[in-house]
Amino acid sequence: MSALHVIGTAGHVDHGKTTLIEALTGINPDRLPEEKARGMTIDLGFAWFAGENAEPIGVIDVPGHERFIRNMVAGAWSLDCALLLVAADDGWMQQTQDHAVVLASLDVGSVIVVVTKTDAAAESRAEDIARDARARCAKIFGAEPPCIAVSALTGKNIGALKDLIIRTVSALPDRSDPRGFPFLYVDRVFTIKGSGLVVTGSLRGAPCAENDELVLLPQRESVRVRGMQTYNSSVSEARPTSRVALNLQKTRSEIRRGNCITSPLAPFSSETELIARVQPVEGLQALSEIRNHSEVEVALGTGHVIAQLHFMGDRRVARIQLREPLPALWGQPFLVIRHGGSEILGSGRILWFGEVKKEERRRLAGLLAVMPEKPHDADRFLLELRFYGLARKPKDLSVDLDAESPVVIDEWMFHPPWLEKLTSDILAIAGLPAGVSSRELESKLRIDGDALKSVLASLVARGALTPANNLFFARARVEKGELSALGRRLLAEIERAGKAGFESTRSGIEGAQKELKILIRLSLVVPLEGGICYARPVFDELAARVLAGRSKAERFSIPEAKERTGLSRKYIIPLLNRMEKDGLLRRDGDARVVR
């Protein structure tokens, strides 16, 4: 089934938006008594008309007065197409500019310029204004929009406008995703006697059906759709994008404009801290005037929240601390409005949810600054891969990974330098005589348990780790037969040296250093200071003797250790230092303490 559409108005105060909608649809969208009395739109209004195949096209009317800019933004988030009105007697004005910028910032790419009130101006003036409006739109939207001259008063071209709207929305790419999730930002909340609470909004994403179990954000409360209407008819299912009224079992105080209703599985976040790209908007340079750490308002979906803006790096990205959580999707655009004022300061796009440690912020800001202007899920995947070093393999691999060439292990992808460091850390820890459990590794290395499991399994498969009794040992059980002849000879000499140790510098065997390195890496030989080497079993036995019967935190002296091992001072100090390095002991003055 093809998608439905919702369009909306935009434009300067009194340029004829509400009147045009009434001429198009027969519905006067001004519903508040104050609006009717003052002849001025204050809040969002709604109407609809039958489009192609009698399918309804929803219409959202917005206020033009600058004081109500937040309401205008609340109407713009869901639009498939916007009618940007310019009165033929007035021309392009401040709010025409502001509204155009809002539409472009919120990714409403489809715009029709409607020059209206043509009955009130000379034809040549209307033509000049149309040309000017198209040129300005080309700058703001990147392409010249279609344009039509109408009069709501005389009815001139109203039918042609309707046709143009129908043609335009029919040609739009389908934004809905039947396998995706439904979502709407609440724009009205009211109660109806007998039915209870009703919320309205523009449904996007996927269809929504009666009895669907949804979630209300940011409250994270589950809600069930008891009944549903679209365009004044009760329906059991609604398709995106359409205006819907949902009957919910809630009270009025529990839900308000700005809340989001979606599937519990939808990837919405409701954070109070995020990082976003922020940029000045066309024709306004206000963002550059914002003092760092100052308060602004963030308008997103149908909501707006006071926020503190902390610029990062070269000011292309900012950390934003919101006074209240805002339900949002990654990559979602928003507007920055002057706190308590009506001036649009800039636009933004969410690139990161949640807090980031202070010492990590600079690195993250660098990665975020180079994200594409309109990032996709694939860009998010790459970002996480670069920042965390690992990321869960995406379901569909439409990501261009050539530049990263990540290492794939099971369900995970790893950034190669990061995996290398992780592997050497794991082998170092698992190289201790006591081995290590995966739980210990997980907390020491602060890595996702599932990803760690995959890495450990691959190390075991490669023979770098040996599992035993729920522990991992980096003592490679290398068959001695796999060593080179020289390696075997060297190992035999070291084993023969026993407690006396083998002094690598004095071996006199050519090529011994390289072989020794391999023996050490295979954990067959333990190097001590001063070039002394012990065969692993000898070292383990000496270490065991030092520790035998001692409990944690117990102190002992060097002479005691000497006596237990029978080692001279030349050997005992390097042995104890090695044990200290391996985390078995710590030093306390002349004494040693069991860890």
Ligand X SMILES: Nc1nc2c(ncn2[C@@H]2O[C@H](COP(=O)(O)OP(=O)(O)OP(=O)(O)O)[C@@H](O)[C@H]2O)c(=O)[nH]1
For residue 153, the minimal CB distance to ligand X (Å) is 4
Q: Which residue number places its CB atom closest to ligand X?
A: 64
Cα(229)–Cα(200) distance, rounded to whole angstroms?
Answer: 9
Cα(379)–Cα(391) distance, rounded to whole angstroms?
Answer: 12
Question: Which range of residues in 38-46, 162-170, 264-272, 412-420 is near Mg ion by CB under 5 A?
Answer: 38-46
For residue 266, the minimal CB distance to ligand X (Å) is 33
Angle between helices 123-141 and 94-105 (to 10 degrees): 30
- What percent helix, strand, coil does the chain show, rounded to 5? 35, 30, 35
DSSP 26-38: S-----SHHHHHH
DSSP helix/strand/coil, 154? coil
Q: Which does 151 bind (CB under 5 to 8 A by kind): Mg ion, ligand X, none?
A: ligand X
Residue 565 CA neighbour count, 13 Å, CB half: 29
Query: Which CB sits closer to Mg ion, 85 or 371?
Result: 85
Among 303, 301, 187, 174, which residue's Cα sits nearest to residue 240? 174
For residue 64, the minimal CB distance to Mg ion (Å) is 6
At a CB cut-off of 8 Å and minimum separation 6, what does 283 contact?
A: 97, 101, 140
Query: Which CB sits closer to ligand X, 70 or 415?
Result: 70
For residue 11, the minimal CB distance to ligand X (Å) is 6
Q: Which does 153 bind (CB under 5 to 8 A by kind): Mg ion, ligand X, none?
A: ligand X
Name the residue type at position 400: D
Query: Which CB sits closer to Mg ion, 41 or 116?
Result: 41
DSSP 245-270: EEEES--GGG--TT-EEE-TTS--EE
Query: Which CB sits closer to ligand X, 30 or 271?
Result: 30
Q: Which does 578 bind (CB under 5 to 8 A by kind): ligand X, Mg ion, none?
A: none
Question: Which range of residues in 33-41, 217-225, 337-345, 570-578 is near Mg ion by CB under 5 A?
Answer: 33-41
Question: Which range of residues in 12-20, 233-241, 248-256, 325-333 is near Mg ion by CB under 5 A?
Answer: 12-20
Q: Is 17 in the site for Mg ion (CB under 5 A)?
A: yes
For residue 120, the minimal CB distance to ligand X (Å) is 4
Binding to Mg ion (CB under 5 A) within 41-100 occurs at 41
Query: Which CB sits closer to ligand X, 76 or 429?
Result: 76
Q: Which does 15 bind (CB under 5 to 8 A by kind): Mg ion, ligand X, none?
A: ligand X
Which helix (H) or strand (E) segment holds residue 296: the answer is strand 295-300
Query: Which CB sits closer to Mg ion, 115 or 567?
Result: 115
Query: Which CB sits closer to ligand X, 23 or 309?
Result: 23
Cis bond upstream, residue 241 (ω within 30)? yes
Query: Which CB sits closer to Mg ion, 15 or 250?
Result: 15
Query: Which CB sits closer to ligand X, 19 or 168?
Result: 19
> Do residues 351 and 109 make contact, with C-beta atoms less than 8 angstroms apart?
no
Query: Which CB sits closer to Mg ion, 18 or 523?
Result: 18
Among 330, 442, 456, 454, which residue's Cα sits nearest to residue 381? 330
For residue 321, the minimal CB distance to ligand X (Å) is 33
Q: Which does 319 bind (CB under 5 to 8 A by kind): Mg ion, ligand X, none?
A: none
For residue 16, the minimal CB distance to ligand X (Å) is 3
For residue 140, the minimal CB distance to ligand X (Å) is 19
Cα(381)–Cα(390) distance, rounded to whole angstroms?
Answer: 9
For residue 134, the minimal CB distance to ligand X (Å) is 20
Query: Which CB sits closer to ligand X, 23 or 399?
Result: 23
Question: Which CA distances in Å does 328 have to 213, 333, 585, 586?
Answer: 19, 9, 50, 50
At a CB cut-off of 8 Å and minimum separation 6, what does 133 contact?
A: 84, 86, 91, 92, 96, 113, 115, 147
Question: Which range of residues in 14-22, 70-78, 360-368, 460-468 is near Mg ion by CB under 5 A?
Answer: 14-22
When computed from its CA atoms, the radius of gyration of the chain, rounded to whole angstroms, is: 34
Query: Which CB sits closer to ligand X, 63 or 348?
Result: 63
DSSP helix/strand/coil, 416? helix
Alpha helices (runs of H) in 82-122, residue ranges in sequence order? 94-105
Q: Which does 269 bind (CB under 5 to 8 A by kind): ligand X, Mg ion, none?
A: none
For residue 230, the minimal CB distance to ligand X (Å) is 24
Q: How many chain residues interact with Mg ion (CB under 5 A)?
A: 3
Question: Which CA distances in Å does 41 have to 49, 231, 415?
Answer: 20, 21, 54
For residue 244, the minimal CB distance to ligand X (Å) is 24
Cα(390)–Cα(446) distance, rounded to whole angstroms?
Answer: 12
Question: Which range of residues in 9-17, 323-331, 377-385, 522-530 is near Mg ion by CB under 5 A?
Answer: 9-17
DSSP helix/strand/coil, 161? helix
For residue 398, the minimal CB distance to Mg ion (Å) is 43
| β-bridge partners, 588 | 591
Q: Which of 18, 25, 71, 242 binds Mg ion (CB under 5 A)?
A: 18
Q: Which does 16 bind (CB under 5 to 8 A by kind): ligand X, Mg ion, none?
A: ligand X
Name the residue type at position 564: R
Binding to Mg ion (CB under 5 A) within 347-406 occurs at none
For residue 119, the minimal CB distance to ligand X (Å) is 5
DSSP helix/strand/coil, 56? strand
Cα(313)–Cα(150) distance, rounded to whole angstroms?
Answer: 48
Q: Which residues contact ligand X (rule: CB under 6 A)?
A: 13-19, 39-41, 63-65, 116-117, 119-120, 151-153
Cα(374)–Cα(274) distance, rounded to whole angstroms?
Answer: 17
Q: Which does 157 bind (CB under 5 to 8 A by kind): ligand X, Mg ion, none?
A: none
Q: Which does 327 bind (CB under 5 to 8 A by kind): ligand X, Mg ion, none?
A: none
For residue 137, the minimal CB distance to ligand X (Å) is 18
Query: Which CB sits closer to ligand X, 93 or 284?
Result: 93
Query: Which CB sits closer to Mg ion, 44 or 260?
Result: 44
**Ramachandran quadrant class, 14 (left: phi over 0; alpha: psi -120 to 50; beta: rest):** left
Q: Is 157 in the site for Mg ion (CB under 5 A)?
A: no
For 97-160, strand residue ranges (E) read 111-116, 147-149
> Do residues 262 and 268 make contact, with C-beta atoms less than 8 angstroms apart?
yes
Q: Which residues bind Mg ion (CB under 5 A)?
A: 17-18, 41
